[in-house]
């Protein structure tokens, strides 16, 4: 994997050049945000639910090893095989070995961000396993060989025409179809035979319940249920942070999840998996992949509370105008920008800067992750770890010095006013002035406030600042 | 009560009229206000970009300038947010704590401390859209935010509604960030400018002649976007309207 920092700004600029895609993307996600607001207004206890969800998650994370072992013990009693994966490579090996042991060549799977994290599909392909995504959006992304651009609606950056073009190539449908229902039907027709003849099924897991040794999968298309139950072998890949202690805790999260994500009261399917079906086998792979290390980060551990609803993406004005792919990472948007650097600090060092720190994300988050404060803290950490480009670092260093010297500062302001007022346009607006690429410069003034004050309030002029006592 | 007036760099350099209005307004309200001449910046640009150690000189100077005042008032939400919530590049002495605890954004100072109930000199016969900066909205909490579904409140609106003749319109996405974001406006200029254009169009389409804001940094960005995109809308700082500007 390349360590080169992701150029979010350039990718975003490219995204912004395509007006129809930009408009659809912004409006579709904003609509999800508004539907989420509508659901919130119907529940007077919304803030209490958020508080409770946050509390449960923080409690669970503070005793993660105990609860994980409790889950393992109870899951085994339910006849579930439990595996532990330290990282992506170990996860892929475990899954590959299970499939090999069953001589399984065709795997159907529902959406799982963890398998994206582990880059599982290429690994299994090398082993001769055909992996078919059954979630519509995820399948579109698989056929187009792209990462999901959103954690809930993976192909939200695509228009119907894009999907028609992709399906025409792989499913030989009419590339001019513009009716989403026809495209969904094409996917059904293509997917059903694959599902019926699959050797193994894979799902993720939204919630894992320690006291019962069971797990819950929430979907809207029913594809996870088909993936889990049509073949006799079911493998669920789940991050270790998805635990809740008790069955009674689930209600809080189920009520928040879909309301926050899509603005619907509940997902179409909320399936509790309690053990293998008759004659079948069920495996749960619990994946760490950097989570334990993140749990040890004082400023960032609460990002593990995330229930992957995507509300922070839908509300983020930057995400809506740059698209998920511009983040160049498995996790995009505000939540991505605070967890991606834990996977690779250099590569994702630019992402905490892909934000205005406006704070909308933090306030829609159903588990109250202080996302924008973590973005702020990441910037400090990245600078301390020398992950800021040299030029920008130097500019800040010089600006900081200047701000400590009032006379030099006054001279600099005067120079700015003079240049803005006297330089010809072609000098002021060039590649050295990113401000002026899509914006006019501020207008110079005849008199700064400081000048005005000296002239008009001179007699009441206060004494100069006393020298600092060191 | 002795008030120290802080005028942020972009107001000093590009919007002196907003600074003058702030000073005159406080004086009209009978306040004893001083502007220390040797002020520069609160340290926010360095702090926000992660270069916190580089904010130390600005923060130390700020404390030198303002420690002797009972209250420090500034016509800027984001600077207030920095001083109050992130001003930690220098050791937290009693002096520093005094400064941080007594720094106010103009609107909250008028609304919460002075509890001003009339601006008899103010008349503004125009239709305005209010832009709450993210600093005032989500950090200082001078207005309710749509994300929380809380009971609506707005300190800037409370003040503006005491002005004769003023009419309000509400844009479709009143709480959406305008895209300034400090250095973000330069490092992510394309997204920043797009957000700015969307913001000014939203106000214009709602029928606003003016965008009024308590933050001139957002205004500097929005004005640049409006001028380039040819959106005929004007900008004014809330202090100017409350101080009696006619336009």
The reply to whether residue B190 touches residue A438, judged by beta carbons under 8 angstroms, is: yes
Rounded to whole angstroms, how far apart are CA atoms A430 and B223? Answer: 19
Q: Which helix (H) or strand (E) holds A382?
A: helix A371-384
The reply to whether residue A383 touches residue B51, judged by beta carbons under 8 angstroms, is: yes
Give the burial string for B115-141 (b: 16+ CB within 10 Å, else e): eeeebeebebebebbbbbbbbbbbbbe
Count the neighbouring beta carbons within 10 Å of the beta carbon of residue B22.
29
> Which of B67, B51, B88 lies closest to B2, judged by CA?
B67
Q: Is-contact A208 A242, C-beta < 8 A? A: yes
Contact residues on chain A for B223, CB-CB shorter than 8 A = 440, 442
> Which of A380, A460, A378, A395 lies closest to A434, judged by CA?
A395
Three-state SS for chain B is CEEEECCCHHHHHHCHHHHHHHHHHHHHCCCEEECCCCCCCCCHHHHHCCCHHHHHHHHHHHHHHHCCCCEEEECCHHHHHHHHHHCCCCCCCHHHHHHHHCEEEHHHHHHHHCCCCCCCCCECCCEEEEECCHHHHHHCCCECCCCCCCCCCEHHHHHHCCCECCEEECCCCCCCCCCCCCCHHHHCHHHHHHHHHHHHHHHHHHCCCEEEECCHHHHHHHHHHHHHHCCCCEEEEHHHHHCCCCC
Count the neighbouring beta carbons within 10 Å of the beta carbon of residue B93.
12
* pLDDT at residue A423, as a whole number: 83
> Which of A253, A213, A262, A257 lies closest to A236, judged by CA?
A213
Rounded to whole angstroms, how far apart are CA atoms B182 and B90? Answer: 21
Q: Is-contact B28 B243, C-beta < 8 A? A: yes
Contact residues on chain A for B65, CB-CB shorter than 8 A = 465
Secondary structure letter of residue A458 according to DSSP: G
Nearest by CB to A438, which of B49, B175, B189? B189
Q: What is the pLDDT of residues B136-159, one digit of tens each?
A: 999 999 999 999 999 999 999 999
What are the φ/ψ torsions at residue A216 (nearest 5 degrees)? -125, 135
Contact residues on chain A for B99, CB-CB shorter than 8 A = none
Nearest by CB to A439, which of B54, B149, B225? B225
> Which of B65, B54, B56, B73 lies closest to B183, judged by CA?
B54
* pLDDT at residue A458, as a whole number: 72
Question: A266 vs chain B: nearest CA distance in angstroms?
Answer: 20
Contact residues on chain A for B34, CB-CB shorter than 8 A = 460, 462
Minimal Cα distance from A433: which residue of B?
A: B186
Contact residues on chain B for A371, CB-CB shorter than 8 A = none
The reply to whether residue B37 touches residue A448, judged by beta carbons under 8 angstroms, is: no
Top CATH class of B127-242 equals alpha beta
Question: A430 vs chain B: nearest CA distance in angstroms?
Answer: 13
Tell me the pTM: 0.96
How far are the Cα atoms of A185, A352, A427 from residue A16, in angstroms, in the given order? 31, 20, 26
For each of the domains in chain A, give its residue range(s) and CATH number, in order of start: 8-19+26-42+299-388 (no CATH), 45-289 (3.40.50.10420), 390-453 (no CATH)
The reply to whether residue B20 touches residue A449, judged by beta carbons under 8 angstroms, is: yes
Contact residues on chain B for A315, CB-CB shorter than 8 A = 147
Give the burial string for A366-398 (b: 16+ CB within 10 Å, else e): bbbbbbbbbbbbbbbbbbeeebbeeebbebbee
* pLDDT at residue A470, as a whole number: 38
With a CB-CB cutoff of 8 Å, which residues 93-132 of chain B face chain A?
none
Beta strands in A153-239 (DSSP E): 200-203, 207-209, 214-219, 233-239
- Greatest Cα-to-Cα distance within chain A, rounded to the nearest angstrom: 94
The reply to whether residue B61 touches residue A404, judged by beta carbons under 8 angstroms, is: yes
Which positions of chain B have pLDDT values less than 50? Answer: none
Treating both helix axes as pointing N-terminal to C-terminal, what angle do B189-206 and A8-16 enclose, rounded to 10 degrees?
40
Rounded to whole angstroms, how far apart are CA atoms A371 and A348? Answer: 16
> Which of B81, B177, B170, B173 lies closest to B134, judged by CA?
B177
Strand partners, B154: B143
What are the φ/ψ torsions at residue B154 (nearest 5 degrees)? -155, 110
Question: B42 vs chain A: nearest CA distance in angstroms?
Answer: 8
Count Cβ atoms within 10 A of the Cβ of residue A240 and give its class: 0-12 exposed, 13-18 middle, 19 or more buried. buried
The reply to whether residue B40 touches residue A434, judged by beta carbons under 8 angstroms, is: no
Instruction: Identify the three-state secondary structure at position A310.
Output: coil
The distance of Cα B105 from the centroid of its chain, to the nearest Å, equals 7
DSSP-derived secondary structure for A116-173: HHTTHHHHHHHTT-EEEE-SHHHHHHHHTT---SSSSSTTTT--HHHHHHHHHHHH--
Minimal Cα distance from B184: which residue of A?
A: A356
pLDDT in tens, chain A (470 residues): 578 999 999 999 999 999 999 999 999 999 999 999 999 999 999 999 999 999 999 999 999 999 999 999 999 999 999 999 999 999 999 999 999 999 999 999 999 999 999 999 999 999 999 999 999 999 999 999 999 999 999 999 999 999 999 999 999 999 999 999 999 999 999 999 999 999 999 999 999 999 999 999 999 998 999 999 999 999 999 999 999 999 999 999 999 999 999 999 999 999 999 999 999 999 999 999 999 999 999 999 999 999 999 999 999 999 999 999 999 999 999 999 999 999 999 999 999 999 999 999 999 999 999 999 999 999 999 999 999 888 889 999 999 999 999 999 999 999 888 888 888 888 788 877 889 999 999 999 999 999 999 999 876 555 555 554 43
Rounded to whole angstroms, how far apart are CA atoms A250 and A42? Answer: 20
Question: A153 vs chain B: nearest CA distance in angstroms?
Answer: 21
Tokens of B172: 């479709």
The reply to whether residue A37 touches residue B55, judged by beta carbons under 8 angstroms, is: no
Given CB atoms, is B50 within the 8 Å cutoff of chain A? yes
Given CB atoms, is B233 within the 8 Å cutoff of chain A? no
Nearest by CB to B50, which of A358, A379, A452? A379
Minimal Cα distance from B134: which residue of A?
A: A358
- The complex scores an ipTM of 0.97
> Which of A27, A24, A42, A25 lies closest to A263, judged by CA?
A42
Contact residues on chain A for B141, CB-CB shorter than 8 A = none
CB pairs < 8 Å spanning A and B = 238
The reply to whether residue A462 touches residue B227, judged by beta carbons under 8 angstroms, is: no
Rounded to whole angstroms, how far apart are CA atoms B244 and A281? Answer: 77
- Greatest Cα-to-Cα distance within chain B, rounded to the nearest angstrom: 50
Nearest by CB to B51, which of A9, A47, A397? A397
* pLDDT at residue A421, as a whole number: 86
Given CB atoms, is B140 within the 8 Å cutoff of chain A? no
């Amino acid at each position: 994997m390349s360590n080169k920092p992701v150029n979010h700004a350039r990718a975003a600029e490219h995204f912004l050049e395509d007006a129809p895609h930009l408009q659809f993307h912004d409006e579709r996600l904003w609509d999800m945000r508004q539907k989420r607001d509508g659901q919130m207004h119907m529940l007077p206890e919304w803030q209490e639910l958020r508080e409770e969800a946050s509390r449960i998650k923080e409690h669970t994370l503070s005793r993660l090893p105990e609860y994980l072992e409790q889950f393992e013990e109870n899951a085994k009693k339910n006849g579930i095989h439990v595996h532990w994966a330290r990282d992506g490579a170990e996860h892929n090996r475990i899954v590959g070995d299970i499939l090999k042991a069953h001589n399984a060549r065709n795997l159907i799977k529902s959406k799982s961000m963890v398998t994206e994290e582990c880059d599982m599909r290429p690994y299994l392909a090398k082993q001769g396993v055909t992996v078919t995504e059954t979630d519509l959006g995820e399948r579109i992304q698989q056929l187009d060989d792209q990462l999901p651009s959103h954690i809930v609606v993976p192909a939200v950056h695509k228009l119907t025409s894009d999907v028609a073009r992709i399906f025409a190539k792989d499913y030989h449908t009419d590339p001019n179809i513009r009716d989403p229902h026809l495209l969904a039907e094409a996917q059904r027709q293509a997917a059903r035979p694959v599902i019926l003849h699959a050797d193994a099924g894979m799902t993720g897991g939204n919630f894992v319940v320690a006291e019962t040794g069971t797990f819950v999968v929430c979907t809207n298309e029913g594809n996870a249920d088909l993936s889990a139950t049509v073949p006799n072998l079911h493998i669920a890949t789940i991050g270790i942070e998805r635990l809740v202690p008790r069955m009674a805790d689930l209600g809080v999260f189920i009520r928040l999840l879909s309301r926050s994500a899509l603005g619907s009261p509940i997902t179409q399917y909320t399936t509790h998996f309690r053990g293998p079906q008759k004659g079948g086998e069920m495996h749960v792979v619990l994946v760490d992949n950097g989570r334990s290390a993140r749990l040890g980060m004082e400023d960032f551990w609460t990002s593990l509370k995330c229930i992957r609803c995507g509300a922070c993406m839908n509300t983020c004005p930057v995400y809506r105008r740059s698209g998920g792919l511009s983040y160049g990472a498995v996790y995009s948007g505000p939540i991505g920008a605070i967890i991606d650097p834990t996977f690779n600090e250099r590569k994702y060092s630019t992402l905490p800067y892909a934000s205005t720190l406006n704070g909308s994300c933090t306030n829609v988050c159903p588990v109250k992750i202080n996302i924008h404060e973590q973005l702020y803290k990441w910037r400090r950490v990245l600078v301390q770890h020398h992950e800021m480009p040299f030029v920008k670092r130097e500019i800040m260093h010089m600006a900081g010095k200047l701000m400590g010297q009032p006379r030099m500062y006054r001279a600099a302001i005067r120079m700015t006013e003079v240049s803005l007022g006297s330089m010809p346009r072609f000098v002021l607006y060039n590649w050295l002035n990113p401000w002026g690429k899509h914006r006019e410069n501020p207008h110079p003034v005849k008199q700064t406030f400081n000048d005005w004050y000296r002239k008009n309030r001179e007699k009441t002029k206060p004494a100069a600042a006393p020298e600092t006592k060191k | 009560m002795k008030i120290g007036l802080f005028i942020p760099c972009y107001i000093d350099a590009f919007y002196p009229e907003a600074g003058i209005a702030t000073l005159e307004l406080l004086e009209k309200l009978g306040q004893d206000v001083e502007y220390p001449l040797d002020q520069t910046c609160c340290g926010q640009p360095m702090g926000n970009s992660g270069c916190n150690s580089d904010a130390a000189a600005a923060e130390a100077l700020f404390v030198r300038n303002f420690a002797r005042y009972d209250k420090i008032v500034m016509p800027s939400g984001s600077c207030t947010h920095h001083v109050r919530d992130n001003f930690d590049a220098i050791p937290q002495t009693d002096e520093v704590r005094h400064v941080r605890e007594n720094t106010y954004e103009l609107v909250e100072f008028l609304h919460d401390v002075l509890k001003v109930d009339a601006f008899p000199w103010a008349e503004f016969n125009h239709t305005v859209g209010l832009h709450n900066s993210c600093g005032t909205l989500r950090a200082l909490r001078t207005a309710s935010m749509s994300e929380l579904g809380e009971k609506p409140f707005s300190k800037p609106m409370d003040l503006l509604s005491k002005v004769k003749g003023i009419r309000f319109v509400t844009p479709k996405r009143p709480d959406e960030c305008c895209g300034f974001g400090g250095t973000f406006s330069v490092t992510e200029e394309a997204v920043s400018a797009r957000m700015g254009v969307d913001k000014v169009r939203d106000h214009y389409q709602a029928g606003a002649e003016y965008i009024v804001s308590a933050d001139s940094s957002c205004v500097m960005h929005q004005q640049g976007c409006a001028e380039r995109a040819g959106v005929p809308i004007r900008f004014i700082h809330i202090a100017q309207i409350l101080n009696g500007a006619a336009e």
